[in-house]
Amino acid sequence: MSIKVRYFASLKELVGRSEDQLPFVGNLTVADVLKQANKNKVIPNNILAAVNMEYVAFETVVKDGDEVAFFPPVTGG
């Protein structure tokens, strides 16, 4: 029972790792996941979130087994 948390690009460098495994404790939003995994870090407020590779709002509730990803605005193309 766990949630996989992933970080990309400049956010990955900022938090100093690319992945976390959080125990699933129920009733957590995406915002809670980010906060819980990065207690002492100031996270830039333009960060985007995805659950299972789809964009989501930070209020979205996370389910067991979800992959939650955080990253800065995209700059491809």
Partner 1 sequence: MKIKIIDTLFDPWQEIQQYQLSIPEVKGKFGATSVFVGTMRDFNDGDNVKGMNLEHYPGMTEKQLQKIVEQAMQQWHILDALVVHRVGDIFPDEPIVLVAIWSSHRGDAFDTSRYIMERLKSKAPFWKKEILVDDAERWVGKNTDGYKK
Nearest-approach distance from CB 42 to partner 1, in angstroms: 17
> Binding of partner 1 at residue 42 (CB under 8 A)?
no
Of 22 and 48, which CB lies nearer to partner 1 in the complex structure? 48
Candidates 16, 22, 55, 58; binder of partner 1 (CB under 8 A) is: 55
Of 31 and 50, which CB lies nearer to partner 1 in the complex structure? 50
Q: How far apart are CA 20 and CA 2, in angstroms?
A: 10
Q: Which residues pair with 3 in a beta bridge?
A: 22
Cα→Cα distances 55→1, 23, 49, Å: 23, 22, 6
> Binding of partner 1 at residue 45 (CB under 8 A)?
no
Q: How far apart are CA 29 and CA 32, in angstroms?
A: 5
> Binding of partner 1 at residue 57 (CB under 8 A)?
no
